[in-house]
Structure 1
Amino acid sequence: MGRRQQPETVGVLDRINNLPDSILSHILSFLPNKEAVRTSILSTRWKYLFASSISILDFEHCLKNLYEEDVNNFMNFVDTLLFNPRDRVHLESFRVNDYFVDDEDDYLPLYGWISTALSRGLKNIGINFINEKVPVLPTLLFTSHSLVTLTLFLHIKDDMKIPTNACLPNLKNLCLTNLAFEDGYSILKLISSCHVLEDLTIYDCCFHSISELNIHNLLLRRLILCFEHVCVRDYDYVMAIDAPSLVYFEYTGIVGKGYTLSNMKSLVKPEISISHFHEVHSERSATQLLQGTCNVQSLHLAIEAFNETFFRTHLDPKLVFHNLVELEFHSYYCYRKGVRLVEFLHNVPNLKTLILDLV
């Protein structure tokens, strides 16, 4: 037998390395972050190429199941990504948490990363902090002209502070969870400064020192309000909503002091779920809440409280749903205590579809 012929290697072109950096970075952008970072060990040229290919950085995904020494490596990686001398990375989405933080000093690099990403045109950011003692968030978080989506989920005991110059002119999506605002008007000012806001979600937030929670926005299309775990004493204000473009409205939790819902002609199918009541105002306030949705064709209504006042007295004659053709009604416990469901149905003269869930 003759000798096996060796493959020809002379004159073979290295087509990959002949490509410009911009093309290589574009190719790396199709890889998962972890795989893209691994290319940094190929050669000196590839050491920082991955940085410009990463547009999404998610701590929730990156920090999962990491040991302490790996966390230090991860922090070095983020430093390299955001502060590398060769290329200025421009993240589109940054989801950050403080799972690796032990004390307040550890927030310094964390806030440095947030501020750097924001200064380079970050569009979407989500912050989930589980520690109760968190320093004041970076001011740039509330004054960014590039942010489109802002999600805040904090477990802090101290009141949230919003800077007086807060303004997010290009923000379209805002989600606030588990926040307490010592100056409730500061967050209302922030919301009103978001002129192109389309989606607003508020979960279990406390607004102190206000008499009225006013949400006025011409472009708002989706509004979710949940006050399920808010103390009654923290809900001593009237809610006013003026959103002529609103299509989806979801309200869950306690019935507050009073409601003014106006210009909701675009509303399609509101979902209202009442779990408990502000005892003093429950009957009148619940009527006001429903009255603001009385022009809709479809309604999801759930009464989940043990309270005995709601729908026990005669309904307000103004509470008539002339356009309602579909009603989905859920009642837990209340129907045994005198909910005037039959009387309520008399106020829905054109109803065609009724779905009942009575437990």
Structure 2
Amino acid sequence: MAVTPRSCKIPRTSNGGGDDEDDGDRLSSLPEHIIRHIFSFLDTINVVRASSVSRKWRYFSVSVPHLNLNIFTFWLLLLNKKDSMQVTNEKFKDFVNWVLMSQDWSVDIQNFSLYYWKIRDDNIIYRWMNVLARRNVQQLYLRLFSDTPLELPLCIINCESLVDLKICFDQYSVLKLPESPGFTRLKFLYLSMVEFMDSMLLGNFVSSCPVLENLTMDDCTFHDFKILDIAAPRLKNLIIDSLTSADEDLFNCEVIVACPSLVSFKLLGTPSGLSFPGTNGLQNVFIFFNHGPEHRTVEEGHHLMDSILRGICNIKVLKLSAAFLGFLLLAVAKPECSAAFYNLKSLTLLVSVDESDQSTIQFLNHSPNLEALSIIFTRLEDWGDNDVALSATRHTLVICGKSNHVTDSCKMPNDDISCMTYHLKKVELIDVACNKNELELVKFLLKNGHVLQKMSIRGKYLNYPTRLSQK
């Protein structure tokens, strides 16, 4: 008896509403709050187009609280893609105006994202922000493709509903900060490719945000700053990144972080000084110096490290670049130095292959309670023409007077290291090329890791990790 195979098609269902156009439309049958959640991930122009598909969606475009307006998505959907950027910009402005004016004003805007080509002397963006403030916007994300300055209007500064603000430029541009206090409910502030011209104005601006908890200054420049003072009573997470800045703004600048609630700190750049007055709860620190100690005098290097060590001595998670490690090794080499990281549990080091044994073991000696160690190996040939990264790698060869080649022999200490005897359980080695220094370090860790439970080795030329376990 032949058996007829069952159809693999999903059976059609009816929503019971009697509408032929919606019969079998599972998406329309979903609860309204789920459909709105799905629409929140779409560009607004696609939400408008989708509103014509179903009678149930007809009014979603005028009541959806998430607006994502992207000029490039708009341009891709235009029938005539031969329009100039200026023509496209005018059409896009008309579309944004229509969206903001046609919406139900009784619905607050939860999220507003704008990707916009801002033309010089184009002030329409300020009118849009005025509408957003009146609609109680909570999250505002501006991505502006322009090099013209942007001034934050008073309507946004005084907007009591604004919680999250992101401003990104596609090339370095000036952001005119307000001189008067505001942002009474702002908790998240993200600024990218912003040119800061006045250190005092920036410091006053940050300190005037009473509930600010997260501050990121990504790829920003600090023109002629001598002091960068960040003082915010409730700030918990701080990121300062000037690594790709061509002006080396932080090199002659002292960074002062006076945030009593700070938990996580990340710095990319090499300041002349770094201190944490009144910051006692710091737990997670990532410091990436792009210049080694050969770019400072001995006195400058010791001054820099003394202030840093006082601020990070009680942290639990630490990540360091090779250049910073060079400063640290000089500091702990002083007989009077008693630096120790008693609370440190997790450590990540970016090290030069030529100094992997010395730098790692030196740090382990100062971390008696360390439980997890990650080492990322760097090589001169990895950097190519990247002079910044190349300088960061070469410094370890200079401070110990060694040449630019892998040493023939690795001298490992005979004394027991406290953390390896009692606490170190997990080791991860990344970009291992299996040269002699690296293999000696692996042997040392396996031999002396009395409580080591797992070692993970990721080869530089392998697509999968190799794991060695010691029980």
Q: TM-score range by the shorter chain?
A: 0.7 to 0.9
Report the alpha carbon displacement of residue 51 of structure 1 after superposing the two structures with TM.
Answer: 1.3
User: Partners of 1:295 and 1:327 in 2: how far apart?
Assistant: 13
Partner of 1:301: 320
Q: 1:235 to 1:252 in 2, by over 3 A?
A: same
Partner of 2:272: 257
Q: Deviations over 1:48-105 (max 9, x none)?
A: 6631234332427843634347765543332122123874653211111223x4x324
Q: 1:51 to 1:252 in 2, by over 3 A?
A: same
User: Partners of 2:327 and 2:187 in 1: how far apart?
Assistant: 39
SS in 1 for 2:234: coil
One-letter identity of the residue aligned with 1:232: E
SS in 2 for 1:76: helix
Equivalent of 1:279 in 289, 293, 296: 296
SS in 1 for 2:156: helix
One-letter identity of the residue aligned with 2:67: I
Residue 322 in 1 paired to residue 338 in 2? no
Partner of 1:17: none
Would the aligned equivalents of 1:214 and 1:241 in 2 still touch at CA under 8 Å? Answer: yes
More displaced 10-residue stretch of structure 1: 225-234 or 165-174: 225-234
Q: 1:185 to 1:342 in 2, by over 3 A?
A: same
Residue 270 in 1 paired to residue 281 in 2? no
Report the alpha carbon displacement of residue 217 of structure 1 after superposing the two structures with TM.
Answer: 2.5
Would the aligned equivalents of 2:305 and 2:327 in 1 still touch at CA under 8 Å? Answer: no
Partner of 2:116: 98
Q: 1:127 to 1:345 in 2, by over 3 A?
A: same
Would the aligned equivalents of 1:321 and 1:348 in 2 still touch at CA under 8 Å? Answer: yes
User: Partners of 2:224 and 2:209 in 1: how far apart?
Assistant: 22
Would the aligned equivalents of 1:312 and 1:340 in 2 still touch at CA under 8 Å? Answer: no
User: Partners of 2:45 and 2:191 in 1: how far apart?
Assistant: 30
Q: Deviations over 1:192-230 (max 9, x none)?
A: 111111111112323346543222223222222222123
Partner of 2:375: 356
One-letter identity of the residue aligned with 1:269: N
* TM-align CA RMSD: 3.9
Q: Deviations over 1:151-188 (max 9, x none)?
A: 11124555432121142110000111221122222122
User: Partners of 1:311 and 1:31 in 2: how far apart?
Assistant: 53
Residue 124 in 1 paired to residue 139 in 2? yes
Q: 1:88 to 1:111 in 2, by over 3 A?
A: farther
More displaced 10-residue stretch of structure 1: 70-79 or 218-227: 70-79
Report the alpha carbon displacement of residue 319 of structure 1 after superposing the two structures with TM.
Answer: 2.4
Partner of 1:52: 63
User: Partners of 2:111 and 2:262 in 1: how far apart?
Assistant: 26
User: Partners of 1:54 and 1:25 in 2: how far apart?
Assistant: 13
Q: Deviations over 1:114-168 (max 9, x none)?
A: 2211232111111122221245443433332221111111245554321211421
**Paired residues for 1:1-359 under 5 Å:** 29-30=36-37, 32=39, 33-34=44-45, 36-38=47-49, 50-59=61-70, 62-63=73-74, 65-66=76-77, 67=81, 68=83, 73-84=91-102, 87=105, 90-99=108-117, 101=118, 103-105=119-121, 107-134=122-149, 136-155=151-170, 159-208=174-223, 210-230=225-245, 231-233=247-249, 235-254=251-270, 256-277=271-292, 279-280=296-297, 281-304=300-323, 311-312=329-330, 314-315=333-334, 317-332=337-352, 335=355, 341-359=360-378
One-letter identity of the residue aligned with 2:346: E
Q: 1:335 to 1:171 in 2, by over 3 A?
A: same
SS in 2 for 1:91: coil
User: Partners of 1:134 and 1:177 in 2: how far apart?
Assistant: 13
User: Partners of 2:326 and 2:279 in 1: how far apart?
Assistant: 30
Q: 1:119 to 1:358 in 2, by over 3 A?
A: same
SS in 1 for 2:203: helix
User: Partners of 2:347 and 2:49 in 1: how far apart?
Assistant: 56
Q: 1:128 to 1:39 in 2, by over 3 A?
A: closer
5+ unaligned residues in a row in structure 2: which ranges?
A: 1-16, 20-30, 379-471
One-letter identity of the residue aligned with 2:155: L
Pick 1 or 2: higher relative contact order, CA cutoff 8 A, min separation 6. 1
Would the aligned equivalents of 2:164 and 2:188 in 1 still touch at CA under 8 Å? Answer: yes
Report the alpha carbon displacement of residue 308 of structure 1 after superposing the two structures with TM.
Answer: 6.9
User: Partners of 1:334 and 1:206 in 2: how far apart?
Assistant: 33
Q: 1:55 to 1:61 in 2, by over 3 A?
A: farther
Using the aligned pairs only, state the percent identity: 24
Would the aligned equivalents of 2:75 and 2:88 in 1 still touch at CA under 8 Å? Answer: no
SS in 2 for 1:270: strand
Partner of 1:21: none
Structure holding more helix per residue: 2
TM-score, with length taken from structure 1: 0.76
User: Partners of 2:32 and 2:256 in 1: how far apart?
Assistant: 49
**Number of equivalent positions:** 335
Partner of 1:19: none
Report the alpha carbon displacement of residue 27 of structure 1 after superposing the two structures with TM.
Answer: 8.5
5+ unaligned residues in a row in structure 1: which ranges?
A: 1-11, 15-23
Q: 1:308 to 1:294 in 2, by over 3 A?
A: closer
